[in-house]
Structure formats: structure tokens, C-alpha cells
Amino acid sequence: MRLLGSIDRLASELARKEYSAVELVEEALDRVERLDGTLRAFITVLPETALAQAAAVDRARSRGDRLSPLAGIPMALKDNLCTRGIPTTCGSRMLDGYRPPYSATVWRRLEAAGAVLVGKTNLDEFAMGSSTENSAFFPTRNPWDPKRVPGGSSGGSAAAVAAGEVVYALGSDTGGSIRQPASFTGVVGLKPTYGRVSRYGLIAFASSLDQVGPLARTVRDSATVLHAISGHDPLDSTSAAVPVPDWAARLDGEVRGIKIGVPLEYFGTGVDPEVARLVRQAVDLLVGMGAEAAECSLPHTEYAVATYYVLAPAEASSNLARYDGVRYGWRAPGAKSLTELYTLSRQQGFGREVKRRIMLGTYALSAGYYEAYYLKSQKVRSLIRQDFDRAFERFDVLAMPTSPEVAFRHGERASDPLRMYMADALTIPVNLAGLPGISLPCGFSRGLPVGLQLVGRPFEEETLLRVAHAYEVATPEWRQAVPPGIAAGRGDDA
């Protein structure tokens, strides 16, 4: 089935004119129609837009134009990335029907490369969640088991890629929201270094933590997409002016001499023993290929979740203050005063989890509590970053589980926010430190995918991708695994 292939393969077949971009996109739209009644990966599907973009690629190819490897390849965007004239909801009633007057930089770059946008994917409201159950519209289901969650908040993007509805998708990662759903659905999820990719047009959750990145079926595909969306952007003050290598061209499958650190804190209490075993087995395989590995310590890891749930809600409280029912977004009917308009619009427009985080953040920033909570958390954040800095004096990459366990069942944690928050315990520290991280499949536990997480030094995505690619090449059984019923496109079995 073509859509379960790699970007490289599809680009070569399109270049040889074995089929047209329009035919490939028609196949993607057909799979969305057959599968998405069960999966619910998409909030918005764009058949007319996608077919028009594909036809433009076919015309360019017939003229002999030089095309990007991404030209004509069906993809999707998480619905917190602005797309001019196309609904961008953030999975929230607050933005239901909102059509931005501008596009996110990442989409403008992909559009210029000839990417074909099949649709906008579901997410936890305003990217606040770990299961894609907090969407105001509907939950998304895991292609490996529809009774289980696909992870979050980029669960729609992950499910769409895992099911072959699209070849790749973009997500955003604030505390693990690309890597954790990648782990739960058996795909590759890459969170770049903070500042590597422009955040312009990404609807903000926590501005010092948010980062856009790809979800794809292979490490090489992730490298190809990352190359297309990276680079300095004057519209984003946090965008870094650093070189953008052609990472995909440098992947050679070689790890000889690479030093891998294995942090003890990431294999302790709360981590499923089978998950820990599979990740250690992956490290052993890399050692057998010529890498070196040793245990290390990141002692402040235990404070990461508490630190994150002060800082992220504080930033969310500030970022979401703009949704007041006046300029755009949901406006409550029948308000008799300005104060009542603000109150009712936010009360009706935001869901339970978003309200919870706004209240947490507002409290942490309030007079008398700022120093006790927010300022102290910033200090702990510095300690967490220093732990990583010390580890990278000895090691090139760190290896650990992406998630403490495999995908959990729908509704299982809905009434227990703390237990839900712990689903990101192993990914959050990477965001707090602003580092690049990648999750890729390393096996199965109880028939569900397990993710190996690799973390690298700032702006050293090349080393990270090199190690991930070498492991992937050595374990084709994980890369080629497809959820039951998906290869045949059977929505009832998805």
C-alpha cells in the first residue's frame, strides 16, 4: 500500500511517473473516508484543496520543473497551526470556525516545497493533554487498538500517520506531545531543539516550551521534513540563526564510537518493566553495532513534572488571556455587561482541562505566590538543564523510554489528572531543557508499540538522527509493522 511507504520511495515513483500526485492524493482521501469514521484523526478534511495542490505539482513535473522530495506527498497539520482561510480550531469550542488571515511559517515552507495538505488533525484542546481525549469535538482512537488512546496532544497527527491516511504530519511538542503519541502509535516523532523551527503561526500554549516537529514512518522521512521546516524566521524572536544541514543525506547507519548515556532515573518507579527491558535491549543492540553505553544520573528528574505544571500553566494563563469574546473566537450570547461577556465566553468556550490549567497558572503568578512557585520553578528548570549539560560532557546522546507504559484505555484516566500528567514524566525534562528528542519504535508489549527515546545536545539533531536511523535500519521488523486491518484499509478493524 503506497501510503505506508517512505517519502523517498514515493518521491522516486512520482518522479518516474509510475502514478501522478493526484492519484496518490485520491488514495489518501479514500483511506481517510474509509478509516476516519473509527479513528477520528481529522477535524477538517480538505479534498478540493488537496487535489488542486496535487494537480499543480503534476503540472510542474510535466514542465520539467525541479521539485522537492515533498512535492505531491499527502500530509497533515495539527490543528493548532494557522492556515490562511482554512479553519484552525485548536480542538476548542473557543476557536470553532476561526479562519486565520495568515499561515504558520512551517506551513508556508511546506507549501512552497509542494506539500499537499489533506487536512487538519485532532488534538487535546489548545494542546493541553496526553491522550487526545480533551478535544472539544471528539476523541481520537489508536490504530493499534481503538479502545486505547493515541497519546497527546498530537494524537490526531500520530494516528493519521500510523494508519497510512497521510505519509507524514506536523505536531507540536510542549511536554512530549510529539514523542509520546509517536510511542503509543508506533511511528517516529521528532521534537527539534527549541528555536530550530519557527513558532510563528503556532497557537501558543507555553511559549518557552512549544516546538513544532514532524511525525513520520521513518527517521529519514523525519529528517527530510525537518530540513524543509527549519531555519531562522524574522517573524519569531526565539528562532535561532543556525545552519540547516541536509540531515537525510548524512544518514549512513554508522554508530561506531558514539557514546550513549542511560539515565537511571528513567528506568525506576512507575516505568513498566517490559518497557524498560525493551529499551535496554535497544541500547544493547546499538552497543553491538559499535556504540559505547554507560549508566548516568540526571538527579533533578524527579522534580520535572512538578516544575512543568507550574511553568506551563503560568504561560498558558498569560497566552489564553486574549480569548475574551471580543476580537475573535467564541462570544457568549446574552451577556448584559462587559464583565459578563468575558466571564461567560471563557466559561463556555474553554473545556475542563484548559480551565484547570488557566487556574493553576493564574494562581502561580498571583501576588504573594509568584516567588514561591513560578520563580522557584524557573530555578529548578535551570538545575534540570545543568543535569543534561553535565551528562553531555560524557555522552553524545541519552537513551531512555519515551513513555513509562504503552497506550492506556480511553476514559481510564479522565477523572485522575495527576495520573494523566505522569504519562509525560519522561518527556517533560527535554522540553524544560530545550533539547532535541526523538521517539522511534523499539518493540511491542501486549501487542502495543513501545518507544525508544533518544535525546541530544542543543542543535545536534544530526547525531540524534544518525543514531536513530542506525537502530531503525537494524530493526526493520519495528519499522515495517502495521496495525491490524490498516494495510487493507478496513475502517471496521482499524
pLDDT tens-place values along the chain, 494 residues long: 799 999 999 999 999 999 999 999 999 999 999 999 999 999 999 999 999 999 999 999 999 999 999 999 999 999 999 999 999 999 999 999 899 999 999 999 999 999 999 999 999 999 999 999 999 999 999 999 999 999 999 999 999 999 999 999 999 999 999 999 999 999 999 999 999 999 999 999 999 999 999 999 999 999 999 999 999 999 999 999 999 999 999 999 999 999 999 999 999 989 999 999 999 999 999 999 999 999 999 999 999 999 999 999 999 999 999 999 998 889 999 999 999 999 999 999 999 999 999 999 999 999 888 999 999 999 999 999 999 999 999 999 999 999 999 999 999 998 888 889 988 999 999 999 999 999 999 999 999 999 999 999 999 999 999 999 999 999 999 989 999 867 555 544 33
CATH number at residue 188: 3.90.1300.10
Q: Is 172 one of the annotated active-site residues of the chain?
A: no
> Is residue 439 in some structural domain?
yes
pTM value is 0.96
28 in Cβ contact with 74 (< 8 Å): yes
The single residue of 177, 198, 222, 439 carrying the catalytic annotation is: 177
> Is residue 351 in some structural domain?
no
The single residue of 6, 135, 153, 230 carrying the catalytic annotation is: 153
Q: Is 78 one of the annotated active-site residues of the chain?
A: yes
- Total domains in the chain come to 1
Orientation of helix 7-15 relative to helix 219-229, angle to 10°: 80
> Is residue 376 in some structural domain?
no
Q: How far apart are CA 404 and CA 269, in angstroms?
A: 9
> Is residue 443 in some structural domain?
yes
> Is residue 353 in some structural domain?
no
Q: Is 154 one of the annotated active-site residues of the chain?
A: no
428 in Cβ contact with 388 (< 8 Å): no
* Other beta carbons within 10 Å of 473: 16
> Is residue 480 in some structural domain?
yes
Ramachandran category for residue 144: left, alpha or beta (phi over 0 → left; psi -120 to 50 → alpha): alpha
Looking at residue 192, the DSSP 8-state letter turns out to be P
> Is residue 486 in some structural domain?
yes
The single residue of 6, 78, 130, 377 carrying the catalytic annotation is: 78
* Other beta carbons within 10 Å of 253: 12
Residue 69: domain span: 2-300+382-493
> Is residue 333 in some structural domain?
no
